[in-house]
Every structure is written in C-alpha cells, then in structure tokens.
Amino acid sequence: MRKPATSSRWWAEIEMQVQFFDLDPMEIVWHGNYVKYLEVVRCALLDKIAYNYLEMKNSGYAWPVIDLQLRYVGPAKFGQILTLRADLVEWENRLKIDYLISDKASGKRLTRASTTQVAVAIDSGEMCFVSPPVLFEKLGVKLQ
C-alpha cells in the first residue's frame, strides 16, 4: 500500500472488513460510518503511544475532536477488506491525525481524512493552548 504523503513516525494501520450493517440503501458504506472507521484506527494509534482515552482521562485531560475533514474518493462495499491508517502529524499544540482508507487488495485510495483534537483540563474545563507535558512524555519528545 502506498503511504500517505504526511507519513509520520507515529502511525498505526489495521485491516477491517466492511460489514452489512454499515451499508446504505445503495449497498455501499454510508458516509457517516467512515467517522467510526477513523475512530477505530485512531484508538489503535493512541494505544500504540500508550495514551488512549482512559489514560488521557487519568492524566486529567479530555481530548475532544474539534475539527473533522473527509474526502470521499471511492465507495467501500460489503465484504471488502479495508486498510485503515492513521498518522500523528501534529502534537505541540493539538493532536492532528491524518487518515487513509484504502482497498487492501488493490491499494486504491477510498478516503482521506484528518481530525484535530485539543487538550481540555478536566478539572477546570479550560482548553489548553499547548499540549500537556504528558503527551510529550508518551511520544518521547522533549518539551521545547
């Protein structure tokens, strides 16, 4: 599979088969289900850096998605095996993750996406304008 142009050192890739319950009346994946696919691979990425949603909460921060961009290139169909990839491309002030959903057999790109998440201190509800030190620790990056 061709790697996305924004490939980073922190990434995750999984395979998933399209299920019947994800289809719309046109017998292709309903557009809203792609958000679920992004969440599945995002969780794989967060697990890989040992900072999943439970660890985020335990560290005192929530990380809501504040922006989501999707570009549909081709439809996914029942039974198709998809390759889902997530690349962490920004982390200093926010988490920006780029995604690529492609057909496993051909490598054909089906969807590109990106999400942006920001840290919010759970105790105060205040948005952080710089990512908290715990994220830098998880990434093995020194604070600048």
- Structural domains of the chain, with CATH: 11-139 (3.10.129.10)
Q: Can you give the pLDDT at residue 144?
A: 65
What averages of pLDDT result for each successive group of 10 residues across the chain (144 residues)? Answer: 59 98 96 97 98 97 98 97 98 97 98 98 97 95 79
For residue 143, what pLDDT is reported? 76
**H-run or E-run covering 46:** helix 33-48
pLDDT the model gives residue 2: 41
Q: Which amino acid is at 52?
A: N
Contact by Cβ (8 Å): 113, 133:
no
For 37-68, how does the pLDDT look when each residue is reduced to its tens digit (9 = 90+)? 999 999 999 999 999 999 999 999 999 999 99
Average pLDDT, the chain: 94
Alpha-carbon gap, residue 56 to 104, rounded angstroms: 32
